[in-house]
Amino acid sequence: MSELTIALQAVGRGESLPTEELLSLVYEQLRQLAAARMAREAPGQTLQATALVHEAWLRLAKGEDQTWENRAHFFGAASEAMRRIVIENARRKSSLKHGGALHRVDISELTLAETTPDDKILMIDEALEALQSEHPEIARLVVMKFFGGLTNEEAADTLGVGERTVGRQWAFAKAWLLDWIQEMH
């Protein structure tokens, strides 16, 4: 077993482990996940990978349920924390865009624009909630890949399934989400 798995199991048994020690074991992997996630964002994104890692870590370390069975469980929780942070950031920016920071604009100068990246993230989150109600295990995979930035191999390891299974489930998820988005929007 890896040093991380042993440490996470100790925390799961209620043994105290300084958060700095646990952070040192997971920081680089969390940073890689966040960097992969943020690389898919539009240029000019205000949320940086380092900030995403730090915010996710704060949520994980201060959460009531600070017990993780193993590495896979921990990184699944980290992916979910990153997802929530990205969604909250998109919602905040969207609310500002849609009236949160009101100012007078001449309507004759406005042009129609395509959906912004934040709107797309919110749309994907809405679709993901619908997928969660029908296929929770596949929704978990989407969170890991889309919000956590895991590869198929990493997701397979985390979920305890084969890489081919992840490939099939990912293909299904993308098709399902696309259909849902086209029907609803």
- Residue 12: which domain range? 3-184
DSSP string, 58-114: HHHHH-S----SSHHHHHHHHHHHHHHHHHHHHHHHHHIIIIIT-----GGG----P
Average pLDDT over residues 59-79: 76
CA distance between the termini of the chain: 47
Task: Decide if 136 contacts 147 (C-beta within 8 A).
Answer: no
Which residue in 35, 150, 185, 183 sits closest to 170, CA to CA?
A: 150
Distances (CA, A) of 49 to 18, 45, 93, 167, 178: 24, 10, 17, 26, 27
Number of domains, the chain = 1
Distance CA 88, CA 122 (A): 9
Residues 47-56 have pLDDT tens digits of 788 888 888 8
42 vs 98, residue with greater confidence: 42
Average pLDDT over residues 90-94: 78
Task: Decide if 27 contacts 75 (C-beta within 8 A).
Answer: no
This prediction has a pTM of: 0.56
Residues 150-167 have pLDDT tens digits of 889 988 988 899 999 999
Average pLDDT over residues 6-20: 71
Cβ burial of 153 (10 Å; 0-12, 13-18, 19+) is exposed
Average pLDDT over residues 139-152: 85
Q: Does 78 have pLDDT greater than 50?
A: yes
Average pLDDT across the chain, whole number: 77
Tell me the percentage of the chain whose pLDDT exceeds 70: 76
Average pLDDT over residues 94-116: 48
Cβ burial of 65 (10 Å; 0-12, 13-18, 19+) is exposed
